[in-house]
Structure 1
Amino acid sequence: MLVAAAVCPCPPLLVPEVAQGAAPELGALRAACDEAVAGLLAVGPELLVVVGGGPRAEVWTEGGAGSFHRFGVELAVRLPSGGVDGPELTPALTVGAWLLDRAGATLPTHACAVPADAPVDRMLGLGAGLAGLADRVALLVLGDGTACRTVKAPGYLDERAEAFDATAAAALGGADTETLAGLDPVLAAELLAEGRAPWQVLAGAARGAGLAGRLRYAEAPYGVGYFVASWS
């Protein structure tokens, strides 16, 4: 059963070594992520599952490792309580592993990558399956909002982006599983909202769990929607 969740964005710039001189610009976001992860661990889950985007569906059940070498930083991280064998963690899951390492997490941890074009029903079903893996399951969900909030954003300015992000932020802050489940995958793809699929995994996992939500951060630095939320 799902007992808690933390939702965080996954820009590599969260990592100070990657951001370097720009690190202070995301200080508030980094602090919100730290608080969300700390709250997740405080509920005492038996199993933690990290969910984030990837080019294809993959799972890690015996540990896993990733690095920030592609960004010119000699920094490697691993999931708690596991080895380093198997495929490298996706960039989103690598940020998740970094957040957990930063928090000192040691509990058994699995990871799951989901592609951006994954069907809604499959994500909801995956979430329900993850929630049933143990009596006390917690999810760390990694995903960004739209990347079209300003003319300097990766996807340039799209007038639909602000409304999409507002809907997503309200749903994440209110633990509104039905609104998350209803996010349009076509529109999300057009707006480069890579969090859509991971958020719908959360929606599937949390249905019927009676969790309440708290929105800790909702801003769009660099024209990309970043949200941090806690569910418990």
Structure 2
Amino acid sequence: MLVAAALCPCPPLLVPEVASGAAAELDGLRAACADAVAELLAAGPELLVLVGGGPQAQVWTEGGIGSFHRFGVDRVVRLPVGGVEGPELSPALSVGAWLLEQSGTELPAHACAVPADTPVERLVGLGEGLAALADRVGLLVLGDGSACRTVKAPGYLDERAEEFDAGLARALGAADTEALLGLDAELCRELQVAGRAPWQVLAGAARGAGLGGRLGHQEAPYGVGYFVASWS
């Protein structure tokens, strides 16, 4: 059963070694993520599951390794913390593994990558399956909002992006599973929303769990919507 979830963005720049001289620009975001992970751990889960985007559907149950070599940084993270090396984690899950590493937790952790084009029905079923993995499951969900908030954003400026992200912030902060399940996949593709699939996995896992939500942080420093929320 799902007992709690931490929702965090997944830009590689969260890792200070990747951000290098610009690391201080995301200090507030890092602190908010650390708080959300701490709340997740305080809920007393016996199993943690990371959920994030990836090029193909894949599940890690016996260790995994993530690296930031593609960003020119010799930095490696492992899942579970202190566990064996397994297949390489997707970039989003690597950020999640780094967040767990920073927390110091020694809880067992699995990971699940979901492609951006996965139909909502499959994501809901996956979420329900993850919630049934243990009596007390905690999810760390990695995803970004629209990457079209400004002319300098990765997806350039789309006038729909700000309103979309505002609605998204309300849904994440209220643990509104129906709103998340109603996210339009085509609109999310056009607005370059990286979190649609992971959030819909969460919505499936949270059905019937009676969780409440709290939005802890939101910003768009590089024209990308970043949100941090806690469900418990």
Cα distance in 2 for residues equivalent to 1:159 and 1:119? 26
Question: For residues 12-41 of structure 1, what are the alpha-carbon distances to aligned partners after superposition, in whole Å with 9 as ceiling and x for unaligned?
Answer: 000111101111111100000000001111
Who is 1:72 aligned against? 72
Deviation (angstroms), 1:65: 0.6
Who is 1:91 aligned against? 91
Indicate whether 1:170 and 2:170 are aligned.
Answer: yes
Cα distance in 1 for residues equivalent to 2:91 and 2:8? 14
Q: Equivalences for 1:1-232 in 2 at 5 Å?
A: 1-81=1-81, 82-85=83-86, 87-232=87-232
Contact 1:54/1:114 (CA < 8 Å) preserved in 2? yes
Q: What are the ranges of 5 or more consecutive residues in structure 2 without an aligned counterpart?
A: none
What TM-score do you get using the length of structure 1 for normalisation?
A: 0.98
User: What is the letter of the counterpart of residue 217 of structure 1?
Assistant: H
Cα distance in 1 for residues equivalent to 2:195 and 2:217? 15
Contact 1:161/1:191 (CA < 8 Å) preserved in 2? yes
Deviation (angstroms), 1:79: 1.2
Deviation (angstroms), 1:80: 2.2
Any runs of at least 4 consecutive aligned residues in structure 1 with deviations exceeding 4 A, and if so which? Answer: none
SS in 2 for 1:222: coil
Question: For residues 136-184 of structure 1, what are the alpha-carbon distances to aligned partners after superposition, in whole Å with 9 as ceiling and x for unaligned?
Answer: 0000000000000000000000011111111111111000000000000
Cα distance in 2 for residues equivalent to 1:203 and 1:83? 30
Contact 1:80/1:105 (CA < 8 Å) preserved in 2? no
What is the aligned residue count? Answer: 231
Q: What are the ranges of 5 or more consecutive residues in structure 1 without an aligned counterpart?
A: none
User: What is the letter of the counterpart of residue 180 of structure 1?
Assistant: L
Cα distance in 1 for residues equivalent to 2:202 and 2:52? 11
Contact 1:14/1:26 (CA < 8 Å) preserved in 2? yes
SS in 1 for 2:169: helix
Contact 1:52/1:92 (CA < 8 Å) preserved in 2? yes
User: What is the letter of the counterpart of residue 84 of structure 1?
Assistant: E
Contact 1:53/1:93 (CA < 8 Å) preserved in 2? yes
User: What is the letter of the counterpart of residue 126 of structure 2?
Assistant: L
User: What is the letter of the counterpart of residue 51 of structure 2?
Assistant: V
Cα distance in 2 for residues equivalent to 1:163 and 1:122? 27
State the identity %.
Answer: 77
